[in-house]
């Protein structure tokens, strides 16, 4: 019997990278720290180059795979999923803007501000300009995706679709073989720089409180989603939440919306959602419903804006949340996939630099299980609402289920 190889997950690797970064930054000579920071900065340049290509690949295919067999059902499902994502992100901003300032003592903020010019300089600086900026990538992805979805099989063949599918496969390979494996190096370099400049402990002293608040917000978000679903479907929200526990715990363990689909389908069946509706809504929402991820990214981004003195008004964050809901469509189904897709808006809208993006990655992945669990549990609430709305018309639902995107 062949022994299973022990494989360390991404979260433990990142935690090790953070600890190593703090130790190296505290005790190792400056020249060694600069070597690691140089490697981290080269990776950062490559990451900035890949992000727009990732958006084009994943968003294009995510939209192209949405069949047009049942337009009304598809439109309402997408609108509910996107609306849920926007509401979760906006609520996260309002709660965070109210609570987080009390976490930040004047001493900690002064300590962080005093280290602004103390960053380590890398030995080599390599610039790899992206082929597209984030907004151009999103617009191009929408144009290609919508045209392929509506015209494929009618006025155009499958050539462009197959080409984009291959391109998406290439980006997927780059993500799995290069980006994800090298993320710990990126984070380690960031924490070395932060430790040498003297702000690591001030930031970590604030972030653990943010972590607790975000987890509580996830649970409140799930409860409110099922209160709305219960009001629409005339069912007990407590009973429906209890039915969703297997899906929630599976998502906590796998950190993948796609991997939770089979369990989530059973949860939806236990809630009384018809087979046609759940077979369409659950796989689709696993791709497009990102309320938990958006809630978490918004809270973490706002925290770093407050710490670093970056403008964080409500209009700026509404713009950011709206873009976030789009770019995370069809984000790669790996731990940390959503934050990879979100790096574009973080840089282009909020102006996050390399260090702040690396902090966002570390923060996001530390809470990835809870965000994914919130996403997939909310899918059950959307399925209940859709089931109630389309109960009289099972024919439309059956057509849609036949055209549901393959996972």
> 129 falls in which pLDDT band (50, 70, 90)?
confident
Copy the structure tokens of residue 143. 């144009």
How far apart are the C-alpha atoms of 219 and 224, rounded to whole Å?
9
| Residue ranges of domains in the chain, CATH in brackets | 10-402 (1.10.3860)
Residue 156 — φ and ψ, nearest 5°? -130, 155
- CA pseudo-torsion sign 189, 193, 198, 204: negative
How far apart are the C-alpha atoms of 82 and 77, rounded to whole Å?
9
Tell me, yes or no, if the pTM score tops 0.75: no
Q: Residue 108 burial by CB count (10 A; 0-12/13-18/19+): exposed, middle or buried?
A: middle
- Mean predicted confidence (pLDDT) in 32-56: 86
**145-185 pLDDT, tens digit each:** 878 877 777 777 778 888 888 998 898 888 888 888 888 88
**Per-residue pLDDT, 405:** 46
Say whether pLDDT at 10 is over 80: no
**270-283 pLDDT, tens digit each:** 888 888 888 778 87
**187-208 pLDDT, tens digit each:** 888 888 878 877 777 677 777 8
- CA pseudo-torsion sign 87, 135, 143, 141: negative
Mean residue pLDDT across the chain: 80
Q: How far apart are the first and last CA of the chain?
A: 31
- Mean predicted confidence (pLDDT) in 378-392: 85
**96-112 pLDDT, tens digit each:** 999 888 877 666 656 66
Q: List 69's β-bridge partners, or say none.
A: none
């Amino acid at each position: 019997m062949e022994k299973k190889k022990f494989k360390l997950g991404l979260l433990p690797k990142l935690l090790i990278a953070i600890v190593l970064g703090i130790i190296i930054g505290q005790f190792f000579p400056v020249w060694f720290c600069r070597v690691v920071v140089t490697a981290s900065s080269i990776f950062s340049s490559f990451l900035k180059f890949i992000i727009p290509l990732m958006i084009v690949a994943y968003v294009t295919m995510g939209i192209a795979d949405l069949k047009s067999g049942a337009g009304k059902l598809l439109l309402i499902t997408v609108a509910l999923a996107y609306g849920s994502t926007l509401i979760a992100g906006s609520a996260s901003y309002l709660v965070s803007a109210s609570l987080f300032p009390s976490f930040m003592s004047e001493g900690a903020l002064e300590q962080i501000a005093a280290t602004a010019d103390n960053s380590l300089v890398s030995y080599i600086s390599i610039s790899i300009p992206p082929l597209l900026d984030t907004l151009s990538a999103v617009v191009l992805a929408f144009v290609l995706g919508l045209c392929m979805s509506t015209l494929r099989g009618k006025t155009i063949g499958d050539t462009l679709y197959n080409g984009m599918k291959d391109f998406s496969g290439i980006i997927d390979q780059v993500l799995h073989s290069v980006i994800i494996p090298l993320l710990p190096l990126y984070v380690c370099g960031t924490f070395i720089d932060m430790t040498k400049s003297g702000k690591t402990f001030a930031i970590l002293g604030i972030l653990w409180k943010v972590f607790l608040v975000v987890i509580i917000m996830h649970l409140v978000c799930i409860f409110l989603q099922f209160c709305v679903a219960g009001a629409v479907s005339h069912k007990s929200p407590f009973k429906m939440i209890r039915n969703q526990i297997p899906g929630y715990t599976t998502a906590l363990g796998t950190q993948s919306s796609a991997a939770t689909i089979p369990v989530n389908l059973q949860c939806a069946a236990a809630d009384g959602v018809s087979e046609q509706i759940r077979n369409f809504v659950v796989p689709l929402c696993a791709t497009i419903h990102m309320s938990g991820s958006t809630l978490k990214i918004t809270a973490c981004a706002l925290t770093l804006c407050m710490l670093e003195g970056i403008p964080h008004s409500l209009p700026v964050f509404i713009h950011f949340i709206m873009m976030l809901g789009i770019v995370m469509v069809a984000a790669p189904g790996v731990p940390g996939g959503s934050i990879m897709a979100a790096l574009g808006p973080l840089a282009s809208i909020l102006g996050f630099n390399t260090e702040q993006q690396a902090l966002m990655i570390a923060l996001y992945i530390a809470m990835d299980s809870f965000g994914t669990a919130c996403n997939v549990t909310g899918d059950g609430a959307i399925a209940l609402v859709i089931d109630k709305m389309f109960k009289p018309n099972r024919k439309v639902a059956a057509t849609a289920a036949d055209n549901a995107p393959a996972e």
